[in-house]
Structure 1
Amino acid sequence: MWKGGSKEGWLIFWTPFDTAGLGKLTELELLYLIDWTNQGTFPSELGQLTKLTIQVLDGNSISGTLPHEVFELTELTNLNVGSNQLQGTLPPALFSRLSHLQWIYINDNMISCTIPAEVGQLSDARKLEFQNTKLSGTLPTEMLMLENLTSLVVTGTSLSGSIPEELCDKIYQKEMKCYGSPPCTVFRVNSNTTACHGTSLCGCDCGPCKPN
């Protein structure tokens, strides 16, 4: 089943289809491939759709790593590749080249790395969802540069360390919330979110940090 097309500038699929000719739809601005159960790797043809602003590929069985072709989609504001089987790392180019991204959903994949410092280049970022991945290390201090961030979800990762005090201040100023089970304390104000339960993060409302 599909809706839209290249003339309308958007395309939505809910059923498997051959992506071989997808790269010819160069006028596409919005692409949804929902539960399309692809059994292969990330379609490299998507790199030819340079006018895309929204790309949603969640709920599939995409494996492998994010191909370098994705980093040619410099107009993207929304990238959703959640609930797949992606492995590898978050390349710095994901953040440095796709600097217009506002919403990033990498959740429920097997991504295994630290969060690159280049995340600080996403000046328009509003929502980052990295939950249920194999991310490790600490939150980079460059996240302090994300002035528009309203939601950060890192539950179910191996992130650890203290959250920078300056980031805590930003969270409180925006009345963001931390929710879940210990070490998180329930703090609900509005739709803005920071979620840290299931991690070793501390600070803010994610539980006190142990003295060195």
Structure 2
Amino acid sequence: MNPRFVTSFFLRSFRGYHCAAETYRPSLSPAPSVEVSHPLPTHLKPSFRKASDNMMRSLLQGYRPVYKPHRLGCEVESLLLLGPSQRMCYYEGKLFGGYSTFLMDQILADCCKPPESIIADTGPAFTVNLNTSFVLPVPPTVPIFLRAWPDKIDGRKIFLKGCIQIPGKAPNEWVDAIQAEALFIRPKI
């Protein structure tokens, strides 16, 4: 698949579905051979990486994790008010579930790798499994509260739980809109 099409597709779709996506037209010429060690041709790497970094920055705009000590590591929280480019709705007034899951994956990953000031000797961990339960629709215009915490640690495996909460009917009440359970694993050293 043409890397420019992929970049264009993701940039357009993650900006809130307000642009018409380009129609994909397969090339009649054979795809250029790509070495295994270089997944993208060298001349496309900087622009593709820049587009990817810009997309990630725009998706995580306003995300500021706060780390708190937990008996198994740390708990992470973040209060987020989505900007206009982040208010992706497939159905009117309901935040796109894929974006909500992306936010959950981000905060769960942050829970695995806290700053060294909280827990020393931690390395990266990667998502193995992420189960999400959509309890309530998330309106795109309300503040959302993201939380993640470790549930169990078994060697390199980290079992996590998390949720996205939205304001409830009573003042200062937060209700779970999305609940998640995840398994992350640290690579062998």
Q: Same fold (TM over 0.5)?
A: no
- State TM-score, norm by structure 1: 0.25
Query: Which has a greater percent of helix?
Result: 2
TM-score after normalising by structure 2: 0.27
More contact order relative to length (CA 8 Å, sep ≥ 6) = 2
